[in-house]
Chain A
Amino acid sequence: MLIGLLVLLACQLLGELIGRALALPVPSPVLGMLLLLIALIFYGKVPDGVRQASEGILSYLALLFVPAGVGLMVHYPLIAADWWVIAIALVVSTGITLAVTAWVLNKLHQGGANHE
């Protein structure tokens, strides 16, 4: 478990270093995810410690968004002025995005061999 956590943090740190060195616009955790994925592909399987740490932290993923979300309270004036524009744009655009993405992927995938 501890070794798994160490691996996750090390990948994030490496991602940070690479991202800064190459001035990439991609955040370091995403680069870290790519690095870990490449490492796992080379290693051929997921070590027990890494699996434990990953599944442990992912099962609490939702909790981790709370501190950033509380930041909404800082923007009360802007939200109050434009709230209905924001509400309509969020709901309608999210609906359209879900429908278009699902539809496109479904169409493209139906050409593939193993359809469930």
Chain B
Amino acid sequence: MNELQDIWVYLSASPLLSLLVTLAAFILSSWINKRAGGTPFLHPVIVAIAFVISFLLLADIEYQDYFEGAQFIHFLLGPATVALAVPLFDHLERVRQMLVPLLVACVTGIVTAALSTIGLVLLLGGSRETLLSLTPKSVTSPIAMGIAEKIGGYASLTAGLVLITGAIGCVLAPWIFQRLRIQDQSIQGFTMGLAAHGFGTAYCFSSIGAMAGAFAGLAMGLTGMLSAFILPLLVKILGI
């Protein structure tokens, strides 16, 4: 029994366990999602996060210790963001044709996302920390975390809220596109990348098509870059 405990102490401190749990949770949640007919209500990322949190609470492992190991997966977000240049390049001609509308829509979308969030939280009486952590919710997580820190929110809370926003976007988007009768892949992709960042992009690649994915990736990068300038300014102007 003592030996088992020693092994457990060793395992819970090594990256092996974090990596294994993360991968197993993701494979299991993808399988569940497929079984449920691919419904975005059981988004594999959200379900996997729930599994991992449950496991960590049951096994009494701190988040910091888990992240020690899981950071190897987290790190790949960097090269994955760089990799978005490839689908973008493939659809460059189409992006060129639509450049001005895309830029206008992007700024409109960023301001809409921020103002509607700020207005709702103020109206409903949420705390200032909640407000400032929520404001960058549509921005891809590495950029959102930087913005949250800059304007006075909690970066790690923002990271989580960004993910939930992404999942909500994937649930709402197909319904909204149907309502507005929007069938163009490039518009669907750009809208999802703007409002639901990486989640929207992943959803576009897996459920709509490569063209939608390319536009989603473009929207995600553009929204991130512009938000880094616009959001701190907006918060300052509104005097929050």
Q: Mark A70-88, 1 if CB is under 8 A from B, else 0.
A: 1111110011011011101
Interfacial chain A residues near B168, Cβ < 8 Å: 90-91, 94
* Contacts A5-B79, A94-B169 given; does A67 touch B70 at CB 8 Å: yes
Interface residues in B, total, Cβ within 8 A: 106
Interfacial chain A residues near B63, Cβ < 8 Å: 70-71, 73-74
Q: Report which of B83, B108, B120, B224 forms a contact with A27, defined as CB distance below 8 A.
A: B224
* Contacts A93-B116, A97-B116, A99-B176 given; does A26 touch B225 at CB 8 Å: yes
- A97 in contact with B182 (CB, 8 Å): no
- A109 in contact with B56 (CB, 8 Å): no
Q: Which residue of A lies closest to B44 (CB)?
A: A62
- A104 in contact with B79 (CB, 8 Å): no
Q: Report which of B23, B172, B228 forms a contact with A95, defined as CB distance below 8 A.
A: B172
For chain B, what secondary structure do more than half of its interface residues adopt (helix, strand, loop), or is it mixed? helix
- B116 in contact with A75 (CB, 8 Å): no
- How far does the alpha carbon of A104 sit from the alpha carbon of B108 in the complex, in Å? 8
Q: How far is the CB of B143 from chain A (nearest CB, A)?
A: 5
- How far does the alpha carbon of A89 sit from the alpha carbon of B218 in the complex, in Å? 25
A residues 20-46 near B (Cβ < 8 Å) are: 25-30, 32-34, 36-37, 40-41, 46
For chain A, what secondary structure do more than half of its interface residues adopt (helix, strand, loop), or is it mixed? helix
- How far does the alpha carbon of A116 sit from the alpha carbon of B182 in the complex, in Å? 11
Interface residues in A, total, Cβ within 8 A: 77
Q: Report which of A26, A82, A114 forms a contact with B127, defined as CB distance below 8 A.
A: A82
- A102 in contact with B229 (CB, 8 Å): no
- B188 in contact with A102 (CB, 8 Å): yes
Q: How far is the CB of B136 from chain A (nearest CB, A)?
A: 12
Interfacial chain B residues near A63, Cβ < 8 Å: 22-23, 26, 45, 48, 73
- A112 in contact with B73 (CB, 8 Å): no
- How far does the alpha carbon of A66 sit from the alpha carbon of B182 in the complex, in Å? 31
Q: How far is the CB of A47 from chain B (nearest CB, A)?
A: 10
- How far does the alpha carbon of A79 sit from the alpha carbon of B192 in the complex, in Å? 26
* Contacts A25-B229, A61-B205 given; does A89 touch B70 at CB 8 Å: no
Interfacial chain A residues near B78, Cβ < 8 Å: 12, 28-29, 32
- A69 in contact with B201 (CB, 8 Å): no
State whether the Cβ of A2 lies closer than 8 Å to any Cβ in chain B: no
State whether the Cβ of B92 lies closer than 8 Å to any Cβ in chain A: yes
- How far does the alpha carbon of A40 sit from the alpha carbon of B177 in the complex, in Å? 32
* Contacts A101-B109, A102-B176 given; does A64 touch B74 at CB 8 Å: yes
Which residues of chain A have a CB within 8 Å of any CB of chain B? 5, 8-9, 11-12, 15, 25-30, 32-34, 36-37, 40-41, 46, 50-51, 53-55, 57-75, 78-79, 81-82, 84-86, 88-106, 108-109, 112-116
Given contacts A70-B56, A102-B180, list 10 more A-B pairs with CB under 8 A. A30-B143, A46-B89, A64-B74, A67-B66, A69-B163, A72-B49, A94-B137, A94-B195, A100-B109, A104-B104
